[in-house]
Chains A and B, each alone.
Chain A
């Protein structure tokens, strides 16, 4: 009987310890766990990352400009608070359209334009609005975001 209780305590201890450790690790790696950053988060960065990163949000309504001669396209990615201009050369996914969720991978040039090497559509239907709303909420708290831009 005593042995069994000891084992139970041990199991509970393992679970508790592991949960705390995992929470700490995930919290420490919070910045690298995200698949993309929002335009507001980009604006809040004090200096632009050298390496490639991904930016995500909605394709701003009326912002898509396609070049007639090539596959060059320019559009703005917005989280409804801030937006970033993105240029891309290549085939866009079928679901790409204005007002739709999008994730672009690339880097920011010195002129502040995001040059994308890859553009992924983000399926939203009912979820992307929630995400946008989340971004609005976050942008609505300027103390958190507008550190330097």
Chain B
């Protein structure tokens, strides 16, 4: 138990985090690609047309996973924001900041695909009902977080201010999720209540799950990569960055003469051993 704890906390050190992502990212990308291909194939070629909507319902294979992802990424961002606010762990701020653009993208995709679906189904692209409005607010919260973080020159101050915004905005996520239950909305209620969803054909559900998995892996891959880049930038003065860059350089140009190695000054930890 204690052992596990220590191993997890190890990755709050940017150097260890960098090394972990180096190993993890290719698998995440590959997994995302495989699931997306399988999901799109199932969604577009295996799943039957809907008895009422025909083919337009297939938009949900993008819409539902991205909408879920947007809400989930916001909650995750808020959790990292709290960790940063309370424990001042630098990696937590880096993670929160790296999640924001992907969260914004997912929310935008959900809104956009929702509008495309709404036009033929409801007869309108947009209405100001509780579900749609609160989702639009989610997008603005992501954008506001990004803007606030970037607006303050001092990274730590900017990080704290933005983290507070992330925390405050978290109250919106349950509102989005339960809006269709709390109020009459044009948007329909929850579809995935596993206990009683026999009207969705199994192949539709499979496609939805595959696309959800693809969204998860894509989000993980791109977020971790972004966090890696930011860790490199923030720690650019430190020894582990120099070593990491040299290692990458050597891997990419094996034939070229070795890059002038900067001799480590002082004792260097052995993080990132591969």
Contact = CB atoms under 8 A, between A and B. Distances in A.
Q: Do A and B bind each other?
A: yes
Interface of A: 4, 7-8, 11, 14-15, 18-19, 22, 26, 30, 33-38, 56, 92-95, 103, 119-128, 130-131
Interface string B233-250: 000000000000000000
B87 interface: yes
B121 A11 contact: no
Given A4-B87, A33-B182, A127-B189, A121 B130 contact: no
Contacts of A123: 52-53, 121-122, 188
Interface residues on B, range: 35 or more
6 contacts: A8-B86, A15-B167, A121-B123, A123-B52, A125-B52, A131-B184
B86 A35 contact: no
Contact of A93 (B122, B182, B188, B199): B122
Given A4-B86, A7-B85, A127-B191, A34 B184 contact: yes
Nearest to A105: B127
A38 B183 CA distance: 12
A121 B184 contact: no
A138 B8 CA distance: 51
- Residue among B123, B175, B188, B196 with max Cβ neighbours from chain A (10 Å): B123
Chain B interface, >50% SS class: loop
A11 B86 contact: yes
Chain A interface, >50% SS class: mixed
- Residue among A8, A19, A120 with max Cβ neighbours from chain B (10 Å): A120
Contacts of B191: 126-127
Contacts of B50: 125
Given A8-B86, A19-B171, A127-B191, A35 B130 contact: yes
A103 B186 contact: yes
A127 B184 contact: no
A29 to B, nearest CB: 10
- Residue among A92, A122, A123, A128 with max Cβ neighbours from chain B (10 Å): A123
A127 B122 CA distance: 15
